[in-house]
Amino acid sequence: MNTAKDEVRHLLDELPDNCSIEDIQYHLYVLEKIRHGLEAAEIQGAVAHEEAVKRLKRWLDE
């Protein structure tokens, strides 16, 4: 498992050299939100893609 420091290093390596501090902050924010979402899905469960499509289709067809 990567440490937070490893993840930041990887992010910095992937971003262009001319990115701003705001760009870095935004990407860190997005990565953190994704991580929290994945943790919540693991703990609380998640709906399979096919099931989500079925549910949305019912709403959109009405």
- DSSP class per residue in 5-55: HHHHHHHHHHS-TT--HHHHHHHHHHHHHHHHHHHHHHHH----HHHHHHH
Whether pTM > 0.85 for this model: the answer is no
What is the pLDDT at residue 58?
A: 86
- What pLDDT sits at residue 62? 64
How far apart CA 42 and CA 35 sit, in angstroms, is: 11
Tokens in use for 12? 């910095």
More confident residue, 61 or 8: 8
pLDDT higher than threshold 90 for residue 61:
no
Domain ranges of the chain: 4-61
Which tokens sit at 49?
């893609």
| Chain segment 3-44, per-residue pLDDT in tens | 989 999 999 999 999 999 999 999 999 999 999 999 999 999
Residue whose C-alpha is closest to residue 8's, from 31, 34, 36: 31
